[in-house]
Amino acid sequence: MKKIKTRIGILFILLTVFTMFASCLNDDDEPKDKQKTVTLYVSATTGECTGMTGTPHECMLIKEKGEKTWDPCEFNGIEGFTYEKGYEYELLATKTIYANPPADGSSYDYTLIKVVSKMAKGNE
């Protein structure tokens, strides 16, 4: 009888410890990154960016479908996409919006899904 009580006690302790560890793994309370598919337009002309150093440099100009203004974007700002000056692009991309963005970085990133169109444009 004493062995059974000891085994039940050990089993109870093990279940309690397991439950405690399992509850530590539950991170449902933490904010999650969000992803959505967006249409991006990339201008045939470039603009000027001012990065972390404050030094102006050349970069792409992009805008999401429905937006009116062009935003500067680093040439490597769309993962998987290689920009060629003089071409206007329509892209399908995944936009990842970070729940906890780095203090010195962007709150979102783009990843190329596919190039929908690429059209040569003259000097504008």
In-domain check, residue 107: yes
CA distance 38 to 87: 20
In-domain check, residue 26: no
In-domain check, residue 19: no
Confidence check: pLDDT of 27 > 60:
no
- When the pLDDT of each residue in the chain is averaged and rounded to a whole number, the result is 85
Confidence check: pLDDT of 26 > 80:
no
- In this prediction, residue 24 carries a pLDDT of 60
State CA 53 to chain mean position distance.
23
- In this prediction, residue 25 carries a pLDDT of 61
Confidence check: pLDDT of 52 > 90:
no
Confidence check: pLDDT of 112 > 70:
yes
Domain count, the chain: 1
Confidence check: pLDDT of 15 > 70:
no
In-domain check, residue 15: no
* Domain interval for residue 105: 34-120
